Amino acid sequence: MGAIHRADVDYDVIVVGAGPAGAVAARTAAERSARVLLLEGRREIGRPVQCTGLLSVRGVELSGASPEVIVRGIRGAFVYGPDPDGKRLALEKDDVHAYVIDRDRFDLDLVERAVRAGVEVRLKSPAVGLERSEANRVQTLRVKTNGHEVRLRARVVVGADGPRSVVARAAGLPPPEKTIIGVQATIAYEPPREDYVEVWLSHAIAPNFFAWAVPAAPGTARVGLGTDDPKQAKALFDRWVARQFPDCEILGFQSGSIPIGPSSRTVTDGVLLVGDAAGQAKPTSGGGIYTGISCARIAGEVAAKAALSGDASERTLGEYERRWREAFEGELRLGLVAHRIYGRLRDPEIARLLEAASDPRIVQVLSEHGDIDYPGRVVRRVMESPALLAKLLQAAPRRMEIYLPLLQEHL
């Protein structure tokens, strides 16, 4: 691939999608002196919201977002099993471990920071296609704007356009392994504790995923469930809300897709993918903001370096792929195994496992070492303790033992 001259392109880097991953990638590239355009298909940044807004303290700090986006702090979780009369597991940290944030304000704050770093932003401008020059030296993005199509040229295109990425498809990069549909509403609800989230583990409620209630503004909560059965998602949600929160006033609906499993390739000549477009959300919880912005910092740095050096070949951009996989692939793969194990458990088996997990020694390990950004850490702790592992294995069905080596492989 020959060198690209700056005059041959409109921008060094074009980032498609102004969610958290796109805003952070764009800002990082601009801070490294690249001319950056950030394109957003919607008319407003961050709206409609498609997220619960639970983000670790670490994630909020890494994003650089203003503390004004924080609604409240979270210290613990109540975990319920399939049996309505069963025990609930209470896990608690000494300090606030995560924040509930307002996602629309968070996204806007990150885009404003990108603008201050020199990024140009265009709203209502969805990318609809990508053409690549013969030697893949210049990327020409086709963008709809004001009812007509324009062509914008860049040395590097960053696809940060979510789980149904147009950039990924146009560049021939594979989609994430599977998607979960999340359906959520903000309701009037007084949670048992304002600094605890609630989680329900049951396939009858949320097939192959879970349901949640996260305290938001005083007297309200964001309650939702995820499932890999898109046709049933809304009906399951309506049934669960009617039973779990009878007579609660519904203040607003949100829904969206969550990618499960990292994409097998996230880089090609002149193009890289980041955030949900690259399948970087955690398969255990569906949380994708922390991993997305962490990988976006690498993406912005590598995209700027490649664009400014005039060599945006797959080989050069491969630095991004290597670095983000080194940081997160083990966690994401481990999460995928955990997601599969959970999918194969029947509800009575989940109930038995939760009963076993209420052993005070296990509760202590879960509370002390649980980390929403790195769920693998607590799995490692449990697996390193023969007594705790034996306790859980006793409660687990025999057929689950085949997964142990798979878990160990990714620890």
Ligand X SMILES: Cc1cc2nc3c(=O)[nH]c(=O)nc-3n(C[C@H](O)[C@H](O)[C@H](O)COP(=O)(O)OP(=O)(O)OC[C@H]3O[C@@H](n4cnc5c(N)ncnc54)[C@H](O)[C@@H]3O)c2cc1C
Q: Which is nearer to ligand X, 56 or 365 (CB)?
A: 56
Mark the segment that binds ligand X (CB under 6 A) among 168-176, 203-211, 272-280, 383-391. Answer: 272-280
For ligand X, the binding residues in 218-247 under the rule CB under 6 A are 224
Mark the segment that binds ligand X (CB under 6 A) among 12-20, 27-35, 129-137, 148-156. Answer: 12-20
Q: Is 21 in the site for ligand X (CB under 6 A)?
A: yes
CB 325 within 8 A of CB 264: no
Per CB under 6 A, the list member of 9, 14, 157, 160 interacting with ligand X is 160
CB of 294 to ligand X, least distance (A): 11
Per CB under 6 A, the list member of 9, 13, 54, 303 interacting with ligand X is 54
The amino acid sitting at 348 is P
CB of 54 to ligand X, least distance (A): 4
Q: Is 40 in the site for ligand X (CB under 6 A)?
A: yes
Per CB under 6 A, the list member of 15, 35, 52, 152 interacting with ligand X is 52
Q: Is 292 in the site for ligand X (CB under 6 A)?
A: yes
Mark the segment that binds ligand X (CB under 6 A) among 112-120, 253-261, 316-324, 359-367. Answer: 253-261
CB of 359 to ligand X, least distance (A): 29
Q: 140 φ, ψ to 5°? A: -110, 115
Per CB under 6 A, the list member of 287, 300, 335, 370 interacting with ligand X is 287
| 148 burial level (CB within 10 Å; 0-12, 13-18, 19+) | exposed
Per CB under 6 A, the list member of 81, 162, 335, 370 interacting with ligand X is 162
CB of 282 to ligand X, least distance (A): 8
Q: Which is nearer to ligand X, 285 or 367 (CB)?
A: 285
Cα 334 to Cα 329: distance, rounded to the nearest angstrom: 8
Per CB under 6 A, the list member of 176, 191, 270, 286 interacting with ligand X is 286
| Of the candidates 144, 129, 149, the residue with the CA atom closest to the CA atom of residue 271 | 129
* Partner residues linked to 73 by β-bridges: 99
Q: Which residue's structure tokens are 């209420």?
A: 358
Per CB under 6 A, the list member of 4, 29, 138, 166 interacting with ligand X is 166
- SS3 string, the chain, reads CCCCCHHHCCEEEEEECCCHHHHHHHHHHHHCCCCEEEECCCCCCCCCCCCCCEEEHHHHHHHCCCHHHEEEEECEEEEECCCCCCCEEEEECCCCCEEEECHHHHHHHHHHHHHHCCCEEECCCCEEEEEECCCCCCEEEEEEECCEEEEEEEEEEEECCCCCCHHHHHHCCCCCCEEEEEEEEEEECCCCCCCEEEEECCCCCCCCCCEEEEECCCCEEEEEEEECCCCCHHHHHHHHHHHHCCCCCEEEEEEEEEEECCCCCCEECCEEECHHHHCCCCCCCCCCHHHHHHHHHHHHHHHHHHHHHCCCCHHHHHHHHHHHHHHHHHHHHHHHHHHHHHHHCCHHHHHHHHHHHCCHHHHHHHHHHCCCCCCHHHHHHHHHCHHHHHHHHHHCCHHHHHHHHHHHHHC
CB of 355 to ligand X, least distance (A): 27
Cα 113 to Cα 28: distance, rounded to the nearest angstrom: 10
Mark the segment that binds ligand X (CB under 6 A) among 66-74, 82-90, 195-203, 284-292. Answer: 284-292
Q: Is 206 in the site for ligand X (CB under 6 A)?
A: no
Mark the segment that binds ligand X (CB under 6 A) among 7-15, 18-26, 131-139, 402-410. Answer: 18-26
Q: Which is nearer to ligand X, 50 or 136 (CB)?
A: 50
Q: Is 289 in the site for ligand X (CB under 6 A)?
A: yes
Q: Which is nearer to ligand X, 98 or 304 (CB)?
A: 98
Mark the segment that binds ligand X (CB under 6 A) among 197-205, 276-284, 348-356, 376-384. Answer: 276-284
CB of 390 to ligand X, least distance (A): 34
For ligand X, the binding residues in 119-138 under the rule CB under 6 A are 126-127
Mark the segment that binds ligand X (CB under 6 A) among 61-69, 202-210, 252-260, 341-349. Answer: 252-260
* Residues lying near ligand X in the complex (CB under 6 A): 16-22, 39-42, 50-55, 126-127, 160-162, 166, 182, 184, 224, 254, 256, 258, 275-277, 281, 286-290, 292
